[in-house]
C-alpha cells in the first residue's frame, strides 16, 4: 500500500529566508507525486507535480520540489519565503503504474512565516 | 473558471439523522474522490470513482456511509445514521485520466453532528 510521511508538524521560517517542507513516500512502481496547499476554511489547491522527466519541478507561487528516487523523497522548497505562504501543506502520492488512482495524502505540515 | 462545487458548505445535524453531501465535479473529469479531514486523522480517502463506477471505497465505514454517482455531473456521499464522530470536513475532488493529472478540490462541507 502506498503511504506518505511528512515528518514535521510545523516549519517556522523568517520572511525572505529559504524554506523546505519535507516529504517521503512509499509506493510500488514509479510514483506520481503532488504538493497541495490549504488556507484556512478552504479546499486544497494544487501547487506542483512530478510525473516523469526532470527531477526538479517548478510550480505555482515560486515553489519548486525535487524528486529523489534513491531517497524516496519529494521535498517542497522556495528560495525566499513570504508571510502569505503561511498555510498547511500536503504531499500526496499516486501509484504511477496503475494510473491516476488512489491519491493518498500525508498528514500535512503547517508552515509559519514570520515577518 | 472551472471548479468543483460542493453543497452544503456547512451542515449541523442531530445524531441519528441522515446527511447527504453533494458534489458537482468539473465538467469532463472522469475521476471523483471523497476525502474526510479531521484534526486527528488528517485527510482520509473514503472512496473514489472512475467513469461513475466505484473503484475503491475501502476507506469508508460501510454500515453507515454510502457514495454514489447518479450521473456524470453529481456525486453524493450519504451518512445514515449520523454520529458525533462523523463531524469533520468532507472534500470532493475531481480529476481526469490520462495518468498524472492533478485533482481539483471543492471547498468542502463542514459537518457537525450534535
pLDDT of amino acid B74: 97
When pLDDT is averaged across residues B1-15 and rounded to a whole number, the result is 93
Could you please report the per-residue DSSP string of A1-61?
--EEE---SEEEEETTS-EEE--EEE-SSSEEEEEEEE-TTS-EEEEEEE-SS-SEEE-GG
When pLDDT is averaged across residues A29-36 and rounded to a whole number, the result is 91
> Which of chain A's residues have a Cβ under 8 Å away from the Cβ of B43?
90, 105, 107-108
Do residues B29 and B50 make contact, with C-beta atoms less than 8 angstroms apart? Answer: no
Residue A68, pLDDT > 90, answer yes
Please report where in the chains the cell 519529494 appears, as a residue: A74
pLDDT of amino acid A97: 62
Alpha-carbon gap: A3 to the closest alpha carbon of chain B (Å): 12
- B100·A96 Cβ contact <8 A: yes
pLDDT of amino acid B65: 96
Residue A90, pLDDT > 70, answer yes
- B108·A100 Cβ contact <8 A: no
pLDDT of amino acid A84: 95
Over residues B66-109, the pLDDT tens digits come to 999 999 999 999 999 999 999 999 999 998 876 667 889 999 99
When pLDDT is averaged across residues B5-24 and rounded to a whole number, the result is 97
> Which of chain B's residues have a Cβ under 8 Å away from the Cβ of A100?
31, 95-101
**pLDDT class for B1, splitting at 50, 70, 90?**
low
pLDDT of amino acid A99: 53
Higher local confidence (pLDDT), A42 or B23: B23
> Which of chain B's residues have a Cβ under 8 Å away from the Cβ of A39?
none
A103 closest CB neighbour out of B98, B103, B107: B103
Say if strands B10-13 and B109-113 run parallel, antiparallel, or are unpaired. parallel
> Chain B contact for A99, CB < 8 A?
yes
> What is the DSSP secondary structure assignment for residue B14, as one 8-state letter?
-
Residue A78, pLDDT > 60, answer yes
Residue A12, pLDDT > 90, answer yes
- A100·B104 Cβ contact <8 A: no
Residue B41, pLDDT > 90, answer no
Q: In angstroms, what is the C-alpha Rg of chain B?
A: 13
- Cβ pairs bridging A and B (under 8 Å): 66
A32 closest CB neighbour out of B48, B56, B99: B99
Amino acid at each position: 500500500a502506498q503511504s506518505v510521511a511528512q515528518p514535521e508538524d510545523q516549519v517556522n521560517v523568517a520572511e525572505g529566508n529559504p524554506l523546505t517542507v519535507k516529504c517521503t513516500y512509499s509506493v510500488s512502481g514509479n510514483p506520481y507525486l503532488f504538493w497541495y496547499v490549504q488556507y484556512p476554511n478552504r479546499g486544497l489547491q494544487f501547487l506542483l507535480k512530478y510525473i516523469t522527466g526532470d527531477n526538479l519541478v517548478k510550480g505555482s507561487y515560486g515553489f519548486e520540489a525535487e524528486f529523489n528516487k534513491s531517497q524516496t523523497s519529494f521535498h517542497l522548497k522556495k528560495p525566499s519565503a513570504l508571510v502569505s505562504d503561511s498555510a498547511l501543506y500536503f504531499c500526496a502520492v499516486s501509484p504511477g503504474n496503475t494510473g491516476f488512482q488512489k491519491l493518498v495524502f500525508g498528514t500535512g505540515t503547517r508552515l509559519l512565516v514570520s515577518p | 473558471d472551472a471548479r468543483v462545487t460542493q453543497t452544503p458548505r456547512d451542515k449541523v445535524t442531530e445524531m441519528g439523522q441522515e446527511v447527504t453531501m453533494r458534489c458537482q465535479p468539473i465538467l469532463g473529469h472522469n475521476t471523483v474522490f471523497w476525502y474526510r479531514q479531521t484534526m486527528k486523522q488528517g485527510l482520509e480517502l473514503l472512496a473514489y470513482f472512475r467513469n461513475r463506477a466505484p473503484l475503491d471505497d475501502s476507506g469508508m465505514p460501510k454500515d453507515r456511509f454510502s457514495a454514489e454517482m447518479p450521473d456524470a455531473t453529481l456525486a453524493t456521499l450519504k451518512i445514515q445514521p449520523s454520529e458525533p464522530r462523523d463531524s469533520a470536513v468532507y472534500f470532493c475532488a475531481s480529476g481526469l485520466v490520462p495518468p498524472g493529472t492533478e485533482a481539483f478540490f471543492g471547498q468542502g462541507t463542514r459537518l457537525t453532528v450534535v
